[in-house]
Amino acid sequence: MQLGMVGLGRMGGNIVRRLLAAGHHCVAYDRDPAPGAELAKEGAQAVADLPAMVAALQAPRAIWVMLPAGAATEAALVTLAGLLSPGDVLIDGGNSMWKDSIRRGAMLREKGLHFLDIGTSGGVWGLSRGYCLMIGGEAEVVARLDPLFQALVPGKDSAPPTPGYAGDPRAEQGYVHAGPNGAGHFTKMIHNGIEYGMMQAFAEGLDILHHADSPALPAEHRLTLNLPEITEAWRRGSVVASWLLDLTAQALAQDPKLEGFSGHVSDSGEGRWTVDAAVASAVQAPVLAAALFARFASRDEDRFSGKVLSAQRKGFGGHLEAKKG
List residues with catalytic annotation.
188, 195
Distance of CA 113 to the CA centre of its chain: 26
Q: Which of residues 5-24 bind its own copies (CB under 8 A)?
A: 10
Among 33, 43, 60, 205, binds its own copies (CB under 8 A): 205
34 binds its own copies (CB under 8 A): no
316 binds its own copies (CB under 8 A): yes
Q: Which of residues 96-135 bind its own copies (CB under 8 A)?
A: 99, 102, 121-126, 129-134
Q: Least separation, in Å, of the C-beta of 147 and its own copies?
A: 18
Q: Least separation, in Å, of the C-beta of 34 and its own copies?
A: 18
φ, ψ dihedrals at 62, nearest 5°: -135, 120
Q: Which of residues 163-192 bind its own copies (CB under 8 A)?
A: 163-168, 170-180, 182-183, 186-187, 190-192
Q: Least separation, in Å, of the C-beta of 113 and its own copies?
A: 19
DSSP state of 49: S
Assess contact for 7 and 14: CB atoms under 8 A. no
Q: Least separation, in Å, of the C-beta of 220 and its own copies?
A: 7
Beta carbon nearer to its own copies, 49 or 276:
276
Is residue 294 packed enough to be buried (19+ CB in 10 Å), middle (13-18) or exposed (0-12)?
A: middle
* Contact track, its own copies, 292-311, x by CB under 8 A: xxxxxxxxx-xxxxxxxxxx
Q: Which of residues 39-98 bind its own copies (CB under 8 A)?
A: none
User: Angle 26-178-131 (CA atoms, 0-180°, nearest 5)?
Assistant: 40
Alpha-carbon span 322 to 303, nearest angstrom: 13
Assess contact for 104 and 181: CB atoms under 8 A. yes
Alpha-carbon span 304 to 204, nearest angstrom: 24
Comparing C-alpha atoms, which of 175, 150, 178, 148 is closest to residue 64? 148
Comparing C-alpha atoms, which of 269, 275, 226, 318 is closest to residue 119? 269
Which one of the spans 41-49, 54-62, 75-83, 219-227 is the region binding its own copies (CB under 8 A)? Answer: 219-227
Q: Least separation, in Å, of the C-beta of 59 and its own copies?
A: 30
226 binds its own copies (CB under 8 A): yes
253 binds its own copies (CB under 8 A): yes
Alpha-carbon span 305 to 227, nearest angstrom: 33
Q: Which of residues 266-295 bind its own copies (CB under 8 A)?
A: 266-267, 272, 274-295
Q: Least separation, in Å, of the C-beta of 28 and its own copies?
A: 20
219 binds its own copies (CB under 8 A): no
Beta carbon nearer to its own copies, 58 or 266:
266
Assess contact for 120 and 129: CB atoms under 8 A. no
138 binds its own copies (CB under 8 A): no
Beta partners for residue 91, in sequence order:
64, 116
Comparing C-alpha atoms, which of 72, 78, 68, 186 is closest to residue 136? 186
